[in-house]
Amino acid sequence: MTTVKRVVCLLDDEFEDLELWYPVYRLREEGAEVLYAGPEKGRKHIGKYGVPAVSDISYDDLDADRFDGLLVPGGWAPDKIRRDPRVLDFVRRMNDSGKPIGQICHAGWVLISAKILEGRTVTSTPGIRDDMENAGSVWLDEAVVIDRNIVSARRPPDLPPYAKAFCDLLFGR
């Protein structure tokens, strides 16, 4: 009997629509349960292109023992998400547990603020390359970079290999 993998996707206003929906649908196709976590349970958040997503749980409900993986979409939402100490603590606990963390585009800001990038190899949108390097990481201009439990990607055209890499890591393939 297989246990369903549970993944949480961090949410706030102005997320990059494709960077949220594409990996979520891929994970659901694989049989994973994906929940959205936002500042408040039940709050509707609007993506950069107008597509809404509603938070299933609040940041207060984030518990690393309850989830097998974490997704952080890009857009402008990461700049808001990174300011919440509940999120940063959760990201650190997920990282300390070695659980898969997926980040794309500007989502690297959340990992920077959680202070988990020292000595790691990652990618992101080139616009935050300096931020990523200043946080102690080695930055590569590649579609997907996997360093232990962190799967990172640059931008929407990288979504197919990013989602595949995250699914493969989550499901142990």
- Mean pLDDT (whole number) for 21-41: 98
* Helices 159-170 and 17-29, packing angle to 10 deg: 40
Give 58's strand partners. Answer: 38
- Domains of the chain are 6-171 (3.40.50.880)
- Mean pLDDT (whole number) for 137-163: 98
Q: What is the pTM of this model?
A: 0.97
Q: Find, among 152, 149, 140, the residue nearest to 170 by Cα.
A: 149
Active-site annotation, residues: 106
pLDDT computed for residue 154 by the predictor: 98
